[in-house]
Structure 1
Amino acid sequence: MSFKKTLLFFALFFTVSSYAQLPTAGLSAWYPFCGNVLDRSGNALDLILSGPTNTTDRFGLSNSAYSFNGNTTALTSLISRTPPMTDTGDFTYAAWFNADTTGNRIIIANGNINVDGCGIVTTGHNVAVAIGGVATYLPTYISFHQWHHAILRKSGVTYSFYLDTTIIGAFTTTLIPAPTSQKFAVGQDYTSGAKAFLGKIDDIAIYNRALTNAEIGNLYRYNPDVQTILGNNAAVCAGFSATLTPVIQYPGLSYLWSNGSTDTSIVADTMGSYWLNITRPFGCSSTDTITFTLGTVTVNIGRDTAVCTGDTFVLVPSAPAGSTYLWSTGDTTATLALTAPGTYSLLLNNFGCPGHDTMNFFYSPRPFVSLGPDISICSVSPLTLSSPYAYTTATYHWNTGAITQTIHPFTSGVYILRVLVDGCPASDTINVTIKPSPIVSFGPDRSLCQGNSIVLNAIASPTAVYTWSTGELNDTITAKNTGTFWLVVNDNGCIATDTFNLTVNPYPLIHLGPDISVCQGTPVVLKSTDVYVSPTYLWSTGATTAAINVTTSGSYTLSVTKFGCTSKDDINVTIKPNPIVNLGPDGYFCAGQTISLVSPQPAGATYIWSTGSTASGISISTSGLYGLVVTNNGCVASDSIRLDKIQVPAVNLGPDTLLCEGYAMQLAIDGDQATYRWSDGSTGTGYTVSHAGTVWVSITNVCGVATDTLQVAYRFCDIWMPNAFTPNGDGRNDVMRVLGTLGSYSDFKFAVFNRWGVNVFLTEDISKGWDGNYNNMEQAIGTYFYVMSCRLNGVEYNMKGSFELIR
């Protein structure tokens, strides 16, 4: 028989907003971005795409809006046309946008908004109106990553700005029409690529009139998209019939089916594919396809099955009601009883749709299980119960809860093993009697100290027989000598035995010697005179070494343990104190003074000074190192002190002097452990005289103060000294000498010194100079010092200074 099924498929789904109508009066251009930038108004004002890519719109439909990447390179993220839209009269510009970030960015611009155009832009976190490079009007806050609908409406000289149907405000201005050489641009400044938009833009509408508020609301709710859904592909049986019909129908939609029909629905009654294209006026179109194929019925007769030998098995298939059956055995019943191993299949027919399934049937042998005869054993004897055959896929279950092939019982009782192999069970039972065994345990071998003993015993039993290595027959013996002791106990046929080794050790000998008396600081080592191999030591101080160092008086005890046997000895140690000798820290004294050195000691002490004196104290008046050795009660101590004599300070700056202008004189003084103070407040050992006046210095140490004064006068001299010379034999500046008008000077002396104070040159001839050699050897490059003196008209002049030798 045949069975015909009729199917009804609901094809189309629209939201309520789809019923809003697009205002068409005055529509100059309409760009719903249905995967392209074509003008759907019928005016053929198509745009040019330069970079943006298709993306999802505010309804989540793909290829229904354009994504702009914010690239500021010209013509890389732009949709545009030339010339721009006319803006001489009233107009309305509208666009949906979804901004990703802040910044000054163009959404739409008619003409060059930097000069004479107008448009809708984002500024920071706002959207606003831009007019002719003059100003930005009516900025209002927007949320990023969210779709908004912006409208710029011009009525006369009044501009109104709407966001999501809410009027933001209005302003009045006169706009100069953009030249025809400019562009209508979306997403980017067409002149430079600046102000590039980052986000999505969709559904741009241009009107040559001012829309009403009601029309603005309709434009906001209008969805140009249409989505065709025919449902999933279907598997059907022979003789099917399916009606494909949209759920919602309203005027304006046009339909085109794959069979050429333009009706809202068609009937599909043959296998194959069917498609439907729906087009919306002034909007987009959508196509969907559904395919019908011959289906099959799902039937399941079960998985491959094995049963134990001797068991029966019935196949009960899972199949739809009303099906007919044909088994591989030729049977046509709904079930099939299996009595032999093999492969079984079922061919099923359910109203024209076939179904098929196959399974394999096996017999599994039952396992062999034998635990043997009942058994009686002693408790100490190991017992193993096990199935005699090992099966690869077997599972084991004992009545003890164990699941292993083998168990080891420790108590009397009945033990049952059940073995399951490939689902087939077998079992066996055995009675086990475990007799208690006697317990004999002497513990570990022991050692005793001489004179002690140990008791060895076993747990008493009235039925047990005891046999000792000593020949005794009781359950207890006492051992006090070195040897090996063993016991055998037989109780009702169960035997236990143990062996014990006893070692009796002597006490160690220990001797610390007689009591000791020594001076403080004398090493005292205490140790036993008897030596043993690997003993343990314990001193009364807590030390565990064989010897200890003693530094304080007292009684000391040593315990020595060997093989667990301990002996002790005591010794008294007296540490006598050393004399305390302290001559004090090193120091000094002034010339003319006498110093007394003493170190008081107890009565009976003896003294030896480094001067040879044996008195308790000495007096000194010269610098030196002085030492003292003191002996008291046989103990010796010593100390030493360094004393230096310091001279009373003295100073001499020399006679008053007259210097040439521009020259300085170096003064240097020295004192014994002294401090210095010059007339200018400086505190060094040297002083540089560079101007006329009185120079004084004060030298102070612990022994007194000394001062001196020097009068310095300056006059003009027409001689001078260079600050460097180059004795390299080139004939220029090879000699260091006095320069100037030299003929009027007498008593001339000129000396040169190196840094170590060595006089490397001396002359009394004013025309002579130093050539850089000393003892016929070239001197090192560096700083040298000179001293020059002479007379002019009977007045003595002195010059001191330094210069550089350069090669």
Structure 2
Amino acid sequence: MILLLLSTTTYSQQQDVAFHLSSELLNGKTILKIKRDFYDPYLWVLAKNNEVYRINSLTKKIDDYSDKFAAYSSLQFIDIAGRSQDTVFIAANSANIVQYKNGSVRLLGPADGILGTVNSIGIDKNLYYQETYVGHCLIIGTSGGFCRYNMDNENAAQLLNNGSSKIYEATYRKEMYKDSFGTNPFAGNDTINYLPVDHENWAGGVYGEYLWEGGKSFGYNINTAYYISSDVQELGDVTDLTNLFWGNNKGMFQNSEKRSYSSGSAHGHYLNDITVNKITSIYGLVALGDNGSPGYPGNIKENLLVGTDVGLYFSSTVYNNYESNTWLATFLRQFSLFHYGELGNIRVNDICVNTSSTTMPICEDGVWLACDNGLYLIKPDYAPFWNGQQSYTISFENQANTVSKIELCAGSSVTAVASFLLDPTIAIQWYANGKELPGKSQNSLEINSSGDYYAVLYDPCGNTHLESNHLTVQVITAPVFTFNYPDKIQQCDNTPLTLQTTDNPGYTYRWYTNGVLNGNTTSSYTVTQTGKYKVEVSACTNSWVPSKEVEVDLVTLPVPQVTSDKAVYCAEDIAVLAESAPTDPSYTINWYRDGTLLTADKNLTTINETTAGSYTVVLASTISTCTQTSSALPLAFTPAPVFTFNYPNQLQYCIGTLLTLQVTGSANYQYRWYKDGTLNGITTTSLPITRNGAYKVEVSSCAGSWVASKEVQVAFVIVPVPAISTDKPAYCVGDNATLSLAETVDPDYTIQWYKDNVPVPNSTGQSSIVTNVPGSYTVTLAYSTPNTDGSTCSQSSAVQAITFNPPPTVSIEKIVNTTICDGQTINLKANYNGGTVQWSTGETTDQVSITQAGTYTATVTSTAGCQAAASTDIAFLPNPVFSVNDTTICTYKKQVVTLTAPAGFAQYDWNGQTGGQTYQVSQPQTVSLTVTDANGCQATQQIKVADRCPDIYIPNTFTPNGDGINDTWVIEGLDSDPTSTVKVFTRNGVQVFSSIGYGTPWNGEYKGKKLPAGAYYYIVTAKNGSQKFSGSLTVIY
């Protein structure tokens, strides 16, 4: 079963190889590593529990070598590399390698130049296209570096670098290992770890590149790495064309060596989250292509092999597929992955390609798979996917390989050749029409007969024969055709002449004019000029049969055109008609009107006409029947226009009236309007009028001829809009209002006053009126002369509303919550029903603040100018008067001072707390006293209580006998000074007490024991050392 795997990176490539299970060996055993020898058919196998086997890849015979390494059972075997049937090396997960050579076992270690822990080994790559070359070095990857060990003379390993290294691939054609030639090459913000690796080309040249670890997707702990290059022999541009592959528990990754220095470049991710254990590739059909040229791959296949925890995957070919646009954009080979179904999802630990020939063309005929349940050999099969028609394995000589069919003229031949890409070892057999051509097994075949030709190719790498693409050859006989025309043909040039011969899709044609090829290659030719014509016909390449030659004489006449000197003619005009052709003896000029020949006008190029009709000119050849006729020119004469324009000489209307002057006439006429004798640009039958002036219209029935109407005088009456002015902005009850026109009125207008739309008696013609009656007043001006339609023009003013307002009302409100005392403020508020207020203080706000006794008045003025006033008297109560003397206190003597206030007040507040007439103080401070009298008026005094006693009092004796009296040495004045220090000494100068700050007095003890009675000495400092005291102290029991 074959499954296409969908992965993070997906390309749609067709499958081109299948694999079939050939052998199953070591069933049930867990196979860890496998390596084929380069020079003999043996495969070395490392299985779980340090088991070692040698297998003949031809006979499949198994030899168990496990007991030969039993002495090293304490080591853990992790890798194997076989050089030949009697030489093999096994890597242990330590600083050791076990060497088996010609029956002798030797343990290699640090003394042999191996530094660090060995993680992988391999046999140094040989130049596989040279059969005589034999590699002699074992390559070793360790935690301490990469080194080589000479297997022939067993010299100490040569350390090539001093960083951690690992062997990823070591076969006869590929070598790749982790190196330490550089650090992260990317200078930008990159969280990827760049893992340097090297690979060697066919000549031993070393190329460095980077694999990627870390980041969000690349993972760590690379299990395997591989590269694919330009061609089998790696002769191409290695840097540009090489792709790198690596695998770990995150899947398989791909980048381009050219861009491996930056993880921001294009890369591939396959088998997402599937653990990849081994990546390698297999070559196929190498003999069917140029294995040393990156530009001509032919049919060579290189398919990736990927061993994973869920089975084997293989790819479509990755060989030389870098010509697509995707490659040019990414430098990545495109391929698809397929799952090998015959083994299911069994884990593949290692892969080794079986090689039957390491010389060119190389032959890789199988794949060994190291699996958890045994060892398997699978064989590649390319035949089911071979498409001979697309391979262009054979082609016609000197033709593009895409040419698959050739026609031959009878008696000629063509050569079919096998592709120059094929290896000389390829066996070829030619076939024609499905039958073998005996003895035709060379690289070329000469063909002279019709048929279907192809070759069968035999791949030297396997028992496979492949059919090439097919070539078709058709032998053609001479053409048969007709060309029946007289030797000379006379033809008018306005009549097409097409020469025709037999049309046969199998023929080709070429035409001649006057003996020269004219480029036409069809079976017919349209003649466009006088000359001699013939055709040649071919039924096969380079064989032409000519027709007879025919002379064609084309009679050419000019095409006449009739024109007139004017576009439109009026009834009285004379039309001048002209034709474009010059006079010439080879033809006559003939004029026609409505189809009738005008004999008097023969051979004239210009004629004068006053008769309407359709005029044409016919040129008639004097040597043949050929003619040329002009297009018809219609000639017509237009009569004078007939129209109506019935208006009085003068028109009067109010300004703004929609007035339109209209002329009635044919829609085919032209019109133009005048204002005050000047054209105004209007060309329609109507003219909207908005301005005073003299208007008329002219009408034309043909160009250049105009008939004028009468002139009409139009006047628009403009009546000014009257405006009413008043002698006052507002009126109160009892006032007279005078209403007047704001401007002087022209005597042509009539004046009429209205109240509430009713005429005011005796107001006609008056420019002002006086009234004491409220209402809505307007005034109208009317033009004395009626309009043309009998209407009158007038304008009315805006409505002027006249009202007589009552006087305002006002009162004063005192806003106060407590007794008004001296120094306090009372707010007065004026309450009124409209207008503006002004206080006797000059303020104009509704509310004012008063701090002095007196009479205050608020006057309100309405919008009509009416006023009203209100007044109020304001008086303030006196504040209480008292005095309490400042005093002093001695704090450390614990004194208490009583402050006494004068009697007779309703309330005493000491420091904000309500109390009595007295207040006791035990600390220096400023006491705030507020007294309130019976009226609620208050007064406040600050009373200072100062500290007036010695700063520090030091007793000279105390009795620490436990009777509760004078048991500690109490020093007064230190309890509020944290900077004070107290020290007590014996008479011998021994310090028995020390304290910074004196929060806890001394109890006469030293180190928890009572001191004997007697004299002691002290030193006391206070106030940051600015005060210092010393003296003697007596302890008494």
- Shorter chain as normaliser: what TM range? 0.3 to 0.5
Q: TM-score, normalised by structure 1?
A: 0.34
